[in-house]
Structure 1
């Protein structure tokens, strides 16, 4: 686990499936559990889904709270 990967969890939307468009950090636990049972994709998304599953499974979602706040501030400061 590293800081850039954690940042990706709060900024990367799910690119496919029934939760397409939902941030990886916001995916429901049962969906992450399904991937854990069936197998994560062999890609960066799969690696991030596995990381999010570990975070969710171990009740560590609060680790992402400061990163979410930072991301919200950065999005608010972007020129439109």
Structure 2
């Protein structure tokens, strides 16, 4: 999956809509929680696509890229 600019900007400003970490930016979810989703299965739809991307970013040590986007592209 190759994310486009608009997808990354939206991902940077999306918060978890449910559960223990409701209201937390997706990129700020604990790594173990994102890995749990990876192992159990991501939700369907856009949220699942975003969580998959968060997993890949964290796996490759690129989560600061999203934090930079958060500061450069304010909503």
Distance 2:9 2:34 in 1: 18
2:27 counterpart of 1:25: yes
Asked if 1:68 is matched to 2:70, the reply is: yes
Structure 1 segments of 4+ aligned residues over 3 angstroms from their partners: none
Return 5+ residue gaps in structure 1 as ranges: 76-80
Q: Which structure carries more helix by proportion?
A: 1
**Does 2:5 align with 1:3?**
yes
TM-score (norm 2): 0.86
Note the aligned Cα RMSD (angstroms).
Answer: 1.3
Partner residue in 2 for 1:41: 43
